[in-house]
Structure 1
Amino acid sequence: MSASIIEDKIVSTRVTADISERAKDNLAKQGLTVSEFIRLSLVKAANNEVRLVSFLDSSEALKAKEEAEASQVKTVGSLDDFDVWIDIIEQKK
């Protein structure tokens, strides 16, 4: 009888501290650690059980694309307005 040795592979990734903490908190509510979640996700990817979601293929995105291609767009503000809006969102975090 021969013994086989299974070698583990360490996989790492970088995310912001905020993302890490929010993920940790949300996964804990489901009884998982970040490591367990990533391990389960990688097993699913290895078994071709992952369905990638493309938001660009949604009905809303396709409709917006059709409208843009037909020049049926309307300007609702400037880039400065957009920057202000982003700043407001960032302050609420």
Structure 2
Amino acid sequence: MSNSVIKNKTVSTCVTEDISEKAKDNLAKQGLTVSEYIRLSLIKAANNEVRLVSFLDSPEAIKAKNEAETGQVSTIGSSNDFDAWIDKIDTD
């Protein structure tokens, strides 16, 4: 008889229904469930086998940074406009 103890940890995350369904459909095409994919991803992360993606290094982000640094920007509204826009999103 073995004295080893199997420990299980449940990890959960929240995403929109649309993201969940798209992920489920795409992973099924590769023969994986969402749970299997997450488990495999966590194993890779634990073994330091993942390459993190920096969205700040994307061509779009670099271009936007360059435009901001060289003053090639325009104001399209005030911070109050932004707050109103966020409030509208929250109520929709």
Task: Using structure 2 for the length normalisation, give the TM-score.
Answer: 0.71
Report the alpha carbon displacement of residue 38 of structure 1 after superposing the two structures with TM.
0.4
Structure 1, unaligned stretches of length 5 or more?
84-93
The corresponding residue for 2:39 is: 39
User: What TM-score results when the alignment is normalised by the length of structure 1?
Assistant: 0.70
C-alpha distance in 1 between matches for 2:59 and 2:35: 34
Deviation for aligned residue 1:74: 5.5
Same amino acid, percent of matched pairs: 76
Aligned Cα root-mean-square deviation (Å)? 2.3
How many residues are matched? 79
Q: Distance in 2 between matches of 1:74 and 1:13?
A: 37
* 2:12 matches 1:30: no
In the alignment, the residues of structure 2 paired with residue 22 and residue 64 of structure 1 have an alpha-carbon distance, to the nearest angstrom, of 29
Runs of 4+ in 1 over 3 A off after TM superposition: none
Unaligned runs of 5+ in 2: 78-84, 86-92
Q: Provide Cα deviations, 1:12-69, integer angstroms capped at 9, x if missing partner.
A: 1111211111111110001000000000000011011111111211244223312221
Which amino acid counterpart does residue 30 of structure 2 have in structure 1? Q
